[in-house]
Chain A
Amino acid sequence: MNLPLLSLIIFLPIVAGTVMLLWPSASRDTIRRLALVTATITFLLSVWVYIGYDFTAGGYQFVEKYSWLPNLGIAYHVGVDGMSAPLVLLTGVVIFTGTLISWNIDRPREFFGLLYILATGVFGVFAALDLFTLFFMYEVAVFPMYLLIVIWGWEKTREYAGMKLTLYLLVGSVLALVGGLAMVFAARANLGYLTFDLLELEKAGLSVAFQRFWFPVVFFGFAVLGGIFPVHNWSPDGHVAAPTAVSMFHAGVLMKLGAFAALRVGVMLMPEGAKFHLPWIIFLTLVNVVYGAFIASVQQDFKYVIGFSSVSHMGLVIMGIATLNHDGLLGSGVQMFSHGVMTALFFAVVGMVYDRTHTRHIPSLGGMMKKLPWAGVAFIIAGLTSMGMPGFSGFIAEFPIFMGVWRYEPWIAIVAAISIVVTASYVLRVAHKVFFGPVPEAFQDIPDINIFDRVALVTLVFFLVGIGVFPHIMVPWIESGVNYVLTILGGA
């Protein structure tokens, strides 16, 4: 393929975002149209990357490599494999739907400008095949997030939550950076030259002692963004405080960034360290899964329910990775996509309800199915997905994870399975209280959602149901990525 497809998808958003920021005289409508066009093209490009990826061939495709600073072995090197292609698609989906549901946002120039700079960072991390490129893009994703939360977030907690989230993520990422630099120099001792290339670092033969020392630093550094216990608590606060599109982006895509980077840099570059440490890390993820679900079930705030459910579901993703076996990794791969779309859908619905009722207090709500039928149906579909109901993508994701965990250690799987019951109970409770029953007096006249919102909901539902009914539109991709990870784990 001659067209630099990945570079196009990585840089289109930041170019559009910069144009918006540098164009103060543009009218509100001009900016919104520019945003919609950008988001649509980005979405279509991400679909193209996904469909164009040949999973029978496997390996890295759409690879581009340009030297950036040869003296230090730094290159702009990007490519996707079966693990990252679905995540590129996920980012495309969320940026598109997030733009649609933010159609009436205040200060659209800065909002979309910052959101698209963020998108560039996210695409960059998923496609990075160079450690420097990865860190560079990772940090690009962080600062717009802060401004997006403090400017457009929920007045009560936005400053606190925005800063908390930013500091947590940055502490993690800079510690991972030190680990990454240590890795680069340790690899130089073996290779004889300095390189940041992930594919070369994989083959650098880092010593077991080195891997065992640095693995936890790198893995946790990234897993903070994946929401691992006990450094998860930026996540519910951050998601609740953020404006809707940013919650969708954050819980839907950025948390995957953490899990993905922990896999790519932690597990794949230091497999011996992973084998040594993951057996205890898996217990932390078990806490995520069960404790997250229980906390979600006692929340009175609609958005906090979803925030904690993300903690629980992301625990499953990292748990699947921690099993280091085929089933667990496969499930994690699907769960990253499935949870991304599902949680984006959840937050979109919460946002639609909140924008109209100005409350997220569950007992004060009711009967929304009559007022916002589209949102209600979408919420129930997302809810069924999160319970792991067959026919929805959550089942395709969670079933292999539990199988993988069972192979690893049956009782962990049994304990983790408690979360399914708890999830079902809180989803049904929230669905019942918010969407059924009588409509409270105050909310008799709320308007239904507009066409943009409907397109967004339908797009998200399409992926949840599509993968649930036809798993082979995603599983073979992930499978090819997992096989590659397994060769690294087996070969080390």
Chain B
Amino acid sequence: MSALNSAMLLALLPELLVLALMGLVLVVDLAGWVQGRKLGWLTLAGLALIVLVSVTTVVPDAAGSVVWGTTLKHDALSFVFRMLFLIAAALTIFFVLDVPALGDRGAFYLLLLASVLGLMLMAMANDIVMLFLAMETATIPLYVLAGFFTGRRESVEAGFKYLLFGALASGFMLYGLSLLYGFAGGEVEFAALAQGLAHTDAPLWAVLGALMIVLAGFAFKVAAVPFHFWAPDVYQGAPTPIAAFLSTASKAAGFALLVRVALVAFPATTLPWWGAALAAMAAATMTLGNLLALTQTDLKRLLAYSSIGHAGYILMGVVAATKLGLTAVVFYLLVYLLTNLAAFGIVAVLERSTGTTAAAQLAGLYKRSPWLTLATLAAFLSLAGVPPFAGFVAKVWVFMAAVEAHLEWLAVIAVLNSIVGIYYYLVVLKVAYEYDPPADAPAIRVSQPVVWALTALAVFIVVAGVAFGPWFHWGEWAAMALFH
């Protein structure tokens, strides 16, 4: 490893700042200088500062650079996702602030920041060692966060379930990676790995087998069929804001890493095979996710299955593996991340006010809280892919990418799935808009931070759905990093 220099430190500045923020939170919490939800405000201020510093000083050039030996890639793709994770964490904190036994605990903020640090490193990982380390750094705090409500059986169960499935997937992934390492002749860096695999003596079936095992590990991260089983149970049991973070930032990090590994670490000659495998996985994921969402009566489970469906659409862009395809993936993740955070935020409000997350609790929402009803309209229609909300254009881009790559069959499956999706999202809106509230319906109480966060998200959903140019260029900038 080369000597420490300023370029290396600058490239890693956001992560170092997150680390510093973790230290700060830990110290002030332990010393008792700042307590309760003020810790949340402190963390928020820290995150805002980090984003501000990053976008003013850390922006990479178009080609990007490899730093810290071969371990990390500082390029547009990683930068865009790192900023997204910071924003996702900040929004999660807005939803957490007023949740008792969560928003007032220093440990929560510490674990969240640790996870964010891992996610950011995932987006930057440039060799298989960092890949694995970053993934574990991101996931282990999430196991704890999912089980954070130790007094609630569902929460503990969610934490354990996530841990067991996650550990298994990690084991798989590590096994696949070690095989690839061996086949490639001892290479760890992604590009060198692809080179090594292209000239390996190992039979093709063995290499492909190892690739499939690695893909299985990714499938677990992004909750793609058939490795999706953990998602509904974990989302339902975990504290709602944690489920929001899990289903958005954690999933997006999985995709950020997947596109890099698929395009850089897998030799180009294997594309037909892993492409076919991912195409089949995309079709199965969107179909199963959407169909199972149809029968859900609990909003968290509904969103869990819908997020499985969305993983299927995003995989379609990965399969296309073109500039448009990857641009579409980044754009979709950006929109999905912010929309799904809004949707979970709404569910969190409902849970706080009524004590449950059953969809039936939305009855008569238009009378109980017109403002929240509008936010629900924007979030759910965006997830459904209806214009003028951002989800529509996001879907159009992935469909376009599939058609461009001559995957018309996959595009047809996807559009039909989007109709299934529209069905269950509309049913939710129907409950909110059509039904009268029950006589004993509890009042909907929305705390001020949640109002700010949801309003900002709803505005974004509309703005990005109409003025999609800047966001598209952003996605293109990120995607192009893989083609340099």
Contacts and interface: CB of A to CB of B under 8 A. Distances in A.
Interface of A: 21-22, 24, 68-69, 71-72, 110, 132, 135-137, 139-140, 142-143, 146-147, 150-151, 159, 163, 166-167, 170-171, 174-175, 177-178, 181-182, 184-185
A181 to B, nearest CB: 4
Contacts of B370: 24
A443 B418 CA distance: 48
A170 B370 CA distance: 27
Interface in B438-477: 468-469, 472-473, 476
Given A175-B412, A177-B396, A178-B415, A71 B472 contact: yes
28 contacts: A21-B374, A24-B371, A68-B468, A69-B468, A69-B469, A72-B324, A72-B400, A110-B433, A136-B387, A137-B387, A139-B386, A139-B392, A140-B388, A142-B386, A143-B381, A143-B386, A146-B430, A147-B433, A150-B430, A151-B434, A159-B430, A159-B434, A171-B416, A178-B403, A178-B415, A181-B411, A182-B408, A185-B404
Given A110-B366, A147-B433, 10 more contacts: A136-B388, A139-B392, A140-B387, A143-B384, A143-B426, A150-B430, A170-B419, A170-B422, A174-B418, A178-B403
Most B CB contacts (10 A, CB to CB) among A132, A139, A163, A184 go to A139
Contact of A166 (B366, B404, B411, B422): B422
Interface string B223-263: 00000000000000000000000000000000000000000
B109 interface: no
Contacts of B400: 72, 181, 184
Nearest to B384: A143
From DSSP, what is the main secondary structure of chain A's interface residues? helix
B429 interface: yes
B374 A178 contact: no
B419 A174 contact: yes
A71 B472 CA distance: 9
Contacts of A163: 423, 426
B374 A22 contact: yes
Contacts of A181: 399-400, 403-404, 411
Q: Chain B, interface size: which category?
A: 35 or more
B459 to A, nearest CB: 11
Contacts of A182: 403, 408
Interface string B342-382: 00000000000000000000000010001100100000010
Contact of B426 (A132, A151, A166, A178): A166
A24 B375 CA distance: 14
Given A147-B429, A150-B434, A178-B411, A68 B422 contact: no
B76 to A, nearest CB: 16
B404 A178 contact: no
Contacts of B468: 68-69
B473 A71 contact: yes
Contacts of A185: 403-404
Contacts of A170: 419, 422
B399 A178 contact: yes
A139 B404 CA distance: 22
A177 B433 contact: no
A288 B158 CA distance: 56
Contacts of B472: 69, 71-72
A359 B468 CA distance: 49
Nearest to A176: B415
Contacts of B324: 72
A69 B467 CA distance: 9
Contact of B419 (A21, A24, A110, A171): A171
A167 B423 contact: yes
Contact of B392 (A24, A110, A136, A166): A136
Contact of A146 (B418, B426, B476): B426
Contacts of A159: 430, 434
A150 B429 CA distance: 10
A137 B386 CA distance: 10
B100 to A, nearest CB: 30
Contacts of A21: 374
A175 to B, nearest CB: 7
Contacts of A68: 468-469
Contacts of A69: 468-469, 472
Most A CB contacts (10 A, CB to CB) among B371, B381, B387, B433 go to B387
Contacts of A136: 387-388, 392
Nearest to A121: B387
Most B CB contacts (10 A, CB to CB) among A150, A166, A184 go to A150
Nearest to A151: B434
A17 B476 CA distance: 34
A178 to B, nearest CB: 5
Contacts of B476: 71
Nearest to A135: B396
A134 to B, nearest CB: 12
Interface in B389-424: 392, 396, 399-400, 403-404, 408, 411-412, 415-416, 418-419, 422-423
Nearest to B411: A178
A333 to B, nearest CB: 28
A159 B427 CA distance: 9
Nearest to B366: A110
A151 B430 CA distance: 8
A216 B116 CA distance: 50
Contact of A174 (B387, B388, B403, B416): B416
A139 B419 CA distance: 12
B415 A175 contact: yes
Most A CB contacts (10 A, CB to CB) among B374, B384, B412, B434 go to B434
B327 to A, nearest CB: 9
Nearest 9 pairs between A and B by C-beta?
A174-B415, A24-B370, A181-B403, A143-B386, A139-B387, A151-B434, A136-B387, A150-B434, A170-B419
B50 to A, nearest CB: 31
A23 B384 CA distance: 25
A145 to B, nearest CB: 11
Contacts of B388: 136, 140
Nearest to B468: A69
A139 B396 CA distance: 12
Contacts of B416: 171, 174
Contacts of A135: 396
A105 B468 CA distance: 36
Nearest to B405: A185
B184 to A, nearest CB: 36
Contacts of B469: 68-69
Given A163-B423, A163-B426, A178 B473 contact: no
A163 B428 CA distance: 12
A218 B293 CA distance: 29
A69 B472 CA distance: 8
A177 B473 CA distance: 23
